[in-house]
Amino acid sequence: MAARTGESIPWEPELNESPGPLPFEPLPGFLNDPAHDDTESAKCHGKRIGILIVTYNAVTTLTKVLKRITPNVWANVEEIAVFDDASQDSTYELAMGIKTLRKLPKLVVLKHERNLGYGGNQKAGYRYFMEKGFDVVVLLHGDGQYAPEILATLYHPIVTGEADAVFGSRMMKTYGGPLKGGMPLYKYLGNRILSVFENAALGLNLTEFHSGYRAYSLAALRKIALTNMTDDFHFDTEIIIKLHHQGFRIAEVPIPTYYGNEICYVNGMKYARDVFRAVSRYKRTSRGLARSAEFAEYFVHYPIKRSRYSSHEYVRRMAGTDQDILDVGAGGGDFAAELKKGGNRVTGVDILPDALNHAAFERYFSADLDEGLTRVAAALGGKRFDRVLLLDILEHLRSPTRILRECGELLKREGELIVSLPNAANITVRIMVLFGRFNYTERGILDRTHLHFFTRKTARQLLEENGYSIVEEHATIMPVELVLGLAPEGLLMRMIATLLAGITRVMPGLFGYQTVLAARPSFE
């Protein structure tokens, strides 16, 4: 994490220095050490590499940081940009003086008119390098807390195609570990506790989440939504979450630990709370329970339910295998992909202009379901299906009866319509109403996009009044695995599911979460 300095000392060239490239002045531990020879690792391999130095009140340390960058790195990177976050000292003037007096064309200095915060400064820097078409960016702090001597170690795995992001870790033992480097014991313990929590929650195995020494492929960052991410210090946690969620390759390299007399502006307790909150908000968003702005792109409106007695488990069985299936309201194709595993041939229909999961479908049609299926039926050229699915769709339509009649015309003689509808009489809704509440939510029974509400009885009536005979019916259990974040195959979840199934079987109208119906139309 960033630490900031407050003392202001002007910079002047030493008397024995002449204008020109900055002299290389590494710390003693890096001087003449063959292990730190970066002749090979510093090579850019044709990549455009930028170094982003984030600073705030770093007038006493910035010169030393720049002098500690190796000549090989200076030769191979295209630009070193100092982003001053509205410092209250002369950091900007110092950096401009170094650039001018030393005639350093690769050194670029920018100053924000207002303080953007630790995360905000990073976002500004990453956008800067992305707009200029760079390939790699390395984050370096202007306070000297991280060793500029090993910059090449950070970007080398990216330019050689081995990783999309590289994090420096102080927890590795190569440089003696964090305590030997002067990390206070309370910070070490806090770091370890948070990292253990984050690894367990996110399914990662990183030795450290909280080092601010990092390198990124800008091709990866271009696919990360930065806008709504925090401007605070836990930005570093949020970006790890996003990289991992989107399947980018993360590598770690050992870095030395250094704690000097810099002033640290990080509130440790607040930072820990923010980290826990970030992970929680991500988990809730990715499970479809809430839509947090910083992770909104990962919100799944209807996540696949994999527990026993869930709607998707019933529909998988009712759909069968080796069937021609029309999935009306198919979304991105996640459930269609599940059906394809059973040898089924799935045709999808949804309002999305294109299917996100192309491989799940034999064919895909974009259609506004409120306008019916006439155009889709014409494009199908008389094709009929063994199963037509309307899963959590009818409650969203202005006229569900129209779709029901049109679906009947697309079924084979022995084909079945499979429908799932939320049970508005579920105990959770009844309790809310009892206490005078009827609050809409992002998803679930009271999804704010629902235009109709059905009970178990009215769901049956809807199909029967539109010419269908019910051949199979199930009441699903409440999806507690999504709420609690439990693995559906785990022992605890299996026990909970069995208990809920028993209660739901006895009182389906009260405890049933969804009603799943299979029905056949009358062809008279």
Closest among 135, 142, 104 to 121, alpha carbons compared: 142
pLDDT of 299 > 80? The answer is yes
> For all residues of the chain together, what is the average pLDDT?
89
Q: Give the domain ranges of the chain.
A: 28-269, 311-521
Residue carrying structure tokens 């699903």:
476
Query: Does the global pTM surpass 0.85?
Result: no
Closest among 387, 385, 390 to 459, alpha carbons compared: 390
pLDDT grade for 262, boundaries at 50, 70 and 90: low
Quote the percentage of the chain above a pLDDT of 70.
94
Q: Report how far Cα 119 is from the mean position of its chain's Cα atoms.
A: 16
The correct answer on CATH 3.20.20.70 for the domain covering 311-521 is no
231-255 pLDDT, tens digit per residue, is 999 999 999 999 999 999 999 999 9
Sign of the CA dihedral running 9, 14, 20, 22? negative
- Hey, what amino acid is at 360? A
Question: What is the homologous superfamily of the domain 28-269 according to CATH?
Answer: Spore Coat Polysaccharide Biosynthesis Protein SpsA; Chain A (3.90.550.10)
Spatial separation of the C-alpha atoms in residues 188 and 100, rounded to whole Å: 41
Spatial separation of the C-alpha atoms in residues 210 and 131, rounded to whole Å: 27
- Residue 264 has a pLDDT of 58
* 154: helix, strand or coil: helix
108-156 pLDDT, tens digit per residue, is 999 999 999 999 999 999 999 999 999 999 999 999 999 999 999 999 9
pLDDT of 170 > 90? The answer is yes
From 70-79, 283-292, 443-452, the region with the lowest mean pLDDT? 283-292
The continuous run of DSSP H or E covering 97 comes out as helix 91-102
Alpha carbons within 13 A on the beta-carbon side of 515 = 27
Across 255-259, average pLDDT: 84
With a CB cutoff of 8 Å and minimum separation 6, the contacts of 345 are 323, 324, 325, 362
Q: What is the dihedral of CA 140, 143, 146, 152, to 10 degrees?
A: 40
86, two tokens:
């509205």
304-320 pLDDT, tens digit per residue, is 777 889 999 999 999 99
* 259: helix, strand or coil: coil
Spatial separation of the C-alpha atoms in residues 304 and 286, rounded to whole Å: 11
More confident: 75 or 308:
75
23, two tokens:
């002299």
- Residue 9 has a pLDDT of 37
- Residue 7 has a pLDDT of 37
Across 177-186, average pLDDT: 84
Closest among 465, 315, 457 to 390, alpha carbons compared: 315
Across 270-277, average pLDDT: 94
Q: Report how far Cα 410 is from the mean position of its chain's Cα atoms.
A: 39
The answer to whether 522 and 469 are in contact (CB under 8 A) is yes
Spatial separation of the C-alpha atoms in residues 216 and 211, rounded to whole Å: 14
More confident: 333 or 151:
151
191, two tokens:
């770091």
- Residue 14 has a pLDDT of 44
Spatial separation of the C-alpha atoms in residues 444 and 447, rounded to whole Å: 5
Looking at residue 358, the DSSP 8-state letter turns out to be G
